[in-house]
Amino acid sequence: GQQVMQIPQYQHVQEGEDFTTYCNSSTTLSNIQWYKQRPGGHPVFLIQLVKSGEVKKQKRLTFQFGEAKKNSSLHITATQTTDVGTYFCAVEGDTDKLIFGTGTRLQVFP
Amino acid sequence: ETGVTQSPTHLIKTRGQQVTLRCSSQSGHNTVSWYQQALGQGPQFIFQYYREEENGRGNFPPRFSGLQFPNYSSELNVNALELDDSALYLCASSLVGQGDTQYFGPGTRLTVL
């Protein structure tokens, strides 16, 4: 079945440093979604990207969809302790249901 | 908050028992999806219900079953529990025709001993 890989698996940063997580698929995607899950919490929808090369920003978060629609990235500028959590990308599977990536766990040290 | 609620919050069962988890979807949403999230992993799709019928199923055995009611709330039933069924069970509601954006509930933490 379709698999979605994310790298890195873990990232520890000092508060104020930048952070990027990458999501890669072997197949062309119709769209991609990003979710954030705080420790002990549930996934919370962040954004959906649809167009090739699309770039969207939410305050310090920048989301990008690759030109070939096979990869995506999430970049956080000047991380804060509130950014701690696991970031998942999610794509539509064969049955149009969401397939989640492996996730990147972000730890921010003050 | 998404408006999606789940009960119970935590549950402890023993191997071989049966469990029922419940989910109330966000107002106006007609689709409920269930996911299993093992510790340290991403959510894995179990199945989805749309207008009271199963609308897609992931790679889970038949002992995982579900229901959706006319008010769009849903149940997940797991029979013959195994130790590997220990996980966070998430339900997510969505509205057909509004993309696949899913709004997750807080989850039920199931521990099988």
Residue range B18-32: mean pLDDT, rounded: 91
If one counts every other C-beta atom within 10 angstroms of the C-beta of residue B62, the result is 7
3-state secondary structure of A83: helix
Tell me if A102 and B41 make a contact (CB, 8 A cut-off): yes
Give the residue from chain B lying closest to A6, CA to CA.
Answer: B42
Chain A environment of B35 (Cβ under 8 Å): 100
Tell me if A100 and B56 make a contact (CB, 8 A cut-off): no
Cα–Cα distance list, A58 to A43, B43, B104 (Å): 17, 24, 20
If one counts every other C-beta atom within 10 angstroms of the C-beta of residue A62, the result is 16
Tell me if B104 and A43 make a contact (CB, 8 A cut-off): yes
Chain B environment of A41 (Cβ under 8 Å): 106
Asked whether the CA dihedral B41, B113, B56, B66 is positive or negative, the reply is negative
Residue range B109-113: mean pLDDT, rounded: 97
Tell me if A31 and B99 make a contact (CB, 8 A cut-off): yes
Question: Residue B94 above 90 pLDDT?
Answer: no
Q: What are B45-87's pLDDT values in tens digits?
A: 999 998 889 988 999 999 999 999 998 899 999 999 999 999 9
pLDDT along chain A (110 residues), means of 10: 87 97 93 94 93 96 96 98 96 77 95
The predicted structure's pLDDT at residue B51: 86
Rg of chain B taking only CA atoms, in angstroms: 13
Q: Are A91 and A25 a contacting pair, CB within 8 Å?
A: yes
String of b and e for B63-95 (b: at least 16 CB within 10 Å)? ebbbebeeebbbbbebeebeeebbbbbbbbbbe
Q: Which residues contact A50 (CB under 8 A, 6 or more apart)?
A: A30, A31, A65
Tell me if A101 and B90 make a contact (CB, 8 A cut-off): no
Give the residue from chain B lying closest to A89, CA to CA.
Answer: B42
Question: Residue B95 above 90 pLDDT?
Answer: no
- For an interface test with A, the pick among B45, B88, B91 (most A C-beta atoms closer than 10 Å) comes out as B45
Q: Are A12 and A107 a contacting pair, CB within 8 Å?
A: yes
Question: Residue B98 above 60 pLDDT?
Answer: no
Distance from A52 to chain B by nearest Cα, in Å? 17
Tell me if B33 and A98 make a contact (CB, 8 A cut-off): yes
Chain A environment of B41 (Cβ under 8 Å): 102-103
